[in-house]
Amino acid sequence: MPSLAEEGAERQLDRLFHALSDRTRRQLMARLALGEAKVTELAAPFDMSLPAVSKHIVVLEKAGLLRRRVEGRVHYCSLSPEALEDASDWIAFYQQFWKRRLDSLAQWLAKEDPKGEGAE
């Protein structure tokens, strides 16, 4: 049974991948990679309402991918790429796992067919 810390980390990873699974949210992140922006500026290129864009922003916020700061009635968003480290670590683990498995398969195939002659 996973510990509470592991369960929390898994939930955070779920939020992260869920946030990244949507094209609009990835486009918002691409814009924020250029620098901080007002929510209205982020919403401008999209053919959707400001509340709809705000919902996407909330998903990115909950995933830890962006920060919001408020000055009066103006909301500013900025990218928080540190959250991507968890996804990067997860991907790197499985990348190494599959690399080792494929290397083992290649070695096994080389033993079975030392001359490199395939069946024709």
Structure confidence by residue, pLDDT tens digits, 21-44:
999 999 999 999 999 999 999 999
Full domain range(s) for residue 44? 4-81
- The answer to the question of residue 25 being in a domain is yes
Pairing mode, strands 37-38 and 66-71: unpaired
Looking at the chain, the number of H-run helices and the number of E-run strands are: 5, 3
Residue 38 within a domain: yes
Q: For residue 101, tell me if it sits in a domain.
A: no
Q: What is the pLDDT of residues 65-90, one digit of tens each?
A: 999 999 999 999 999 988 888 888 88
Q: Residue 39's domain is classified under what CATH number?
A: 1.10.10.10
Per-residue pLDDT of 97-107, as tens digits, reads 777 777 777 77
Q: What is the pLDDT of residue 7?
A: 76
pTM value surpassing 0.85? no
Is the residue at 105 inside a domain? no
Going along the chain, which residue ranges are E strands? 37-38, 66-71, 74-79
The answer as to whether 28 is a domain residue is: yes
**Which one, of 42, 29, 18, lies nearest residue 79 by Cα?**
29
- Helix, strand, coil shares of the chain as percentages rounded to 5? 65, 10, 25
Region of 79 (left: φ > 0; alpha: ψ -120 to 50; beta: rest) is beta
How many structural domains is the chain composed of? 1
